Structure 1
Amino acid sequence: MDEEQSVYILLTNTGTLFTRMIGLYTKAPYNHASISFDRELNELYSFGRKQPNNPLNGGFVKENIQTGTYNKYPNTTCVIYELKVTPREVDKMKRVLHIFIRSSQKYGYNLLGIIGVAIQEPVEFSNSYFCSQFVAEILHRSGIKLWSKLPALVTPEDLRSSERLRLVYEGKLSEYEPEAM
């Protein structure tokens, strides 16, 4: 059997107006999801704000926990989960991710998809995702089935409730120390 590897799912709450509005509906503590291939969260990807000051300009983003949106919102709270996977699954996920990276400019934010989640009707566009849909899509296209629903209906709360994810850290994102884990 191949040695297991880990990928990390970061769920955050920046406290922005947008996340507070989503939170009023979801009642969930975290309303943004990202995926990383390292415990330090250096390779962190999602769909969200392209610029910290403009919530309307969204799309595929490589996030940085020290700069950008997370730096603008230093009181961001988070949970970090570890998902054990095979090296083959990691390779598949990275291949899917590189499709997004190579064509990052053509992707937009699927705002209507969030409404679709609320009414339990998937709203999908070929080049448009919201954060948890993107994370679920990476997993789904890699053969990792954590839910019996379409990626376009997966929420950060669904990620949080998956039995395959192991809690690594909960607290302020600015206080996360991967070496201590």
Structure 2
Amino acid sequence: MAEECSVYILLTNTGTLFTRLIQGYTRAPYNHASISFNRELSELYSFGRKHANNPLNGGFVREDIKTGTFSKYPNTTCVLYELKVSGREVEKMKRVLHIFIRSRQKYLYNILGVIGIALKEPVEFSNSYFCSQFVAEILDRSGIKLWNKLPALVTPDDFRQSSRLRLVYEGKLSEYSTT
């Protein structure tokens, strides 16, 4: 039998103006998605702000739950899910992730893609993603199909609705602990 591993999907709500605007439309409790290969969330990746003080400069980011953008918003709420996958699927995901890491400077935040979700029309540009599109792309390119839709149409709430994800934690991100 293949080795069973876990990856973690973190959904957050910082309460910023941008997230409140998205939430006003989606009515979903969380509007940002990130992926991690460990429960400690020490390696957390997404598409979002490159600098905590500048919401307009976005792209591929390695996030840290203790510093950076999340530390500026101590009341950030979150939900953490575990996705059981094979060791081979994790290898594939890490290979895809390393493509993003190696070329991180060329990636942009796909703000038009966020608008595309509202219109139910995928808006895709090469090297341009929004947070949930990025996480869905990592899974999709690794052969993991959680939904029957393009990554460019996946929202953070789609992760919340997936029956393959198991709830690990829900509450304030600043209070999250693996112990």
TM-score (norm 1): 0.98
Matching residue of 1:156 = 156
Runs of 4+ in 1 over 4 A off after TM superposition: none
Shift of 1:3: 2.0
2:165 matched to 1:165? yes
Per the alignment, residue 48 of structure 1 pairs with 48
Corresponding residue of 2:126: 126
Residue equivalent to 1:93 = 93
- Tell me the equivalent position of 2:82: 82
Distance in structure 1 (CA, Å) of the matches to 2:38 and 2:4: 14
In the TM superposition, what is the alpha-carbon distance from 1:2 to its structure 2 partner? Answer: 1.4
- The alignment partner of 2:99 has SS state of helix
Q: CA deviation at 1:126?
A: 0.5
Query: For residue 59 of structure 2, what is the aligned residue in structure 1?
Result: 59
For the residues of structure 1 that align with 2:2 and 2:39, how far apart are their CA atoms?
20
Where structure 2 has 5 or more consecutive residues not aligned to the other structure, the ranges are none
Separation in 1, partners of 2:2, 2:122 = 36
Inter-partner Cα distance in structure 2 for 1:150 and 1:4 = 26
SS in 2 for 1:178: coil
Cα deviation, 1:153-179, whole Å, max 9, x if unaligned, reads 000000110000000000000000112
Q: Name the amino acid aligned to 2:164.
A: R
Letter in 2 for 1:131: C
Distance across 1 between alignment mates of 2:4 and 2:174: 28
1:13-63, CA deviations, whole angstroms, 9 ceiling, x for partnerless residues?
000000000000000000000000000000100000000110000000000
What SS does structure 2 have at the residue aligned with 1:2?
coil
Letter in 1 for 2:119: I
**TM, length-normalised to structure 2:** 1.00
- Separation in 2 of the partners of 1:9 and 1:66? 17
Per-residue CA distance 1:62-95 (angstroms, 9 max, x = gap): 0000000000000000000000000000000000
* Unaligned segments of structure 1, at least 5 residues: none
- Per the alignment, residue 109 of structure 1 pairs with 109
In structure 2, distance between residues paired with 1:89 and 1:118: 31
Deviation at 1:5, TM superposition (A): 0.3
| Structure 1: distance between partners of 2:162 and 2:8 | 13
